Amino acid sequence: MAVSVDEAVSAGPAGDRRPTVRRRGGRGRAMLEIALLTVLAVVMLFPVLWMIETSIKENRDVYAIPAEFIGFTVTMEHFKDVFVGPDGGRSALSVAFLNSALVAGLSTVLATLLGVPAAWAYSRFAVKAKKDQLFFILSTRFMPPVVVVIPIFLMYRQIGLIDSKLGLILIYTAYNLPFTIWMMKGFVDEVPAEYEDAAMLDGYTRLQAFRRFTLPLLVPGIAATAVFALIFSWNEFVFAIFLTSSDSVRTAPPAIAGLIGGTTTDWGLVGAASVVFALPVLVFAYLVRKHLVAGVTLGAVRR
């Protein structure tokens, strides 16, 4: 079964389009369907629009009763507060954003470096108990994070990785590996093994054949996989909140969540921080839209 958003987005309609089929009340029904879709789209997008709106409202408009949809004064104060601290220096949030970028970036690089060769090996060779190994790999990704975090917490405390970026990078790498391997295996499967066989007939070693002929063909797949790993690590919250505590190490999700502590919450600031935080994810998701189905099912559903 062909499963890709590419087709979902661009292929012809699955249903009927031909006038012979739309006999009775075809137009009325089409209008109804469009109306329904519009309502659903508005409902789905409203929270996002409300978040953006809140981020550019002045505080008195944020808390206005009844809520103000239009006609408020636009301000960029909240966005300034996201980056600039009250003392004029760097804000805790901007430090958290930098930490997030570092942790997500490095763990993605590591997961790619470990995952791509493994995926290639699983795709090309008769590995002992391959199915069991692949099942094991996938199942580690499905573990409830709050369960895994208990022993990880104890382990990190023992070896001094608690409240360190390295600790987060390691756990995110392990967390992304199953996804990277499953997704990349799909991409490698699509490259004919004959390319490597032919290269080996020409005298290249297996490794050279992989590096010179298969790897270049995998680059788009690697890019898509890496983007997904990046998004997962960027959004991750559970490990981040339990394994880190200091402002200098904390990533953005727990830092943003920390904004609601205390008696009053500056929702304008929460909105602005959320917008800044979500923006790269939306851009990245748009870049990999062709691979969304594979990406969100950990690469398990492809073809």
Partner 1 sequence: MPPAPGRSRRLSDRGLAAAFISPALLLLLAMSVFPLLWALYLSFTNYSATRGGPAEFVGFANYTAILTSAQVHQRALTTLIYVVGAVALQTVLGFGIAYLISRRTHGRGLLTTLFLVPMMLSPVVVGLFWRFMLDAQFGVINSMLGSLGLGQVEWLTRQRTALISLIVVDTWQWTPFIMLIALAGLTAVPKYLYEAASIDRASEWFRFRTITLPLVWPLLLIAVLFRAIEAFRLFDLVYILTNGGPGVSTETLSFHVYKVAFLGFNTGTASAYGILMVVVVIVLTQLYLRYLNKLKEG
Near partner 1 in 176-205, by CB under 8 A: 177-178, 181, 202-205
Letter string b/e over residues 125-160, b meaning 16 or more CB atoms within 10 A of that residue's CB = eeeeeeeeebeebbeebeeeeeebbeebeeebeeee
Give 215: exposed, middle or buried? Use CB within 10 Å, 0-12, 13-18, 19+: middle
Near partner 1 by CB under 8 A, which window of 72-80, 90-98, 213-221, 288-296?
Answer: 288-296
Shortest Cβ distance from residue 216 to partner 1 (Å)? 14
Nearer to partner 1, 18 or 27 (CB): 18
> Which 118-157 residues touch partner 1, going by CB under 8 A?
118, 120-122, 124-125, 127, 133, 135-140, 142-148, 150-155
The answer to the question of residue 103 lying near partner 1 (CB under 8 A) is no
H/E stretch holding 49 reads helix 26-55
Of the candidates 229, 253, 272, 299, which one interacts with partner 1 according to CB under 8 A? 253
The answer to the question of residue 159 lying near partner 1 (CB under 8 A) is no
Shortest Cβ distance from residue 131 to partner 1 (Å)? 9
The answer to the question of residue 12 lying near partner 1 (CB under 8 A) is yes
d(CA 42, CA 153): 42
The answer to the question of residue 207 lying near partner 1 (CB under 8 A) is yes
Q: What is the DSSP string of 104-144?
A: HHHHHHHHHHHHHHHHHHHHHS--TTHHHHHHHHHHHHHS-
Of the candidates 96, 171, 191, 229, which one interacts with partner 1 according to CB under 8 A? 171
Nearer to partner 1, 65 or 70 (CB): 65
The contacts of residue 178 (CB under 8 Å, 6+ apart) are 137, 138, 140, 141, 298
> Which 16-55 residues touch partner 1, going by CB under 8 A?
16-18, 20-21, 33-34, 36-37, 40-41, 44-45, 47-48, 50-51, 54
The answer to the question of residue 1 lying near partner 1 (CB under 8 A) is yes
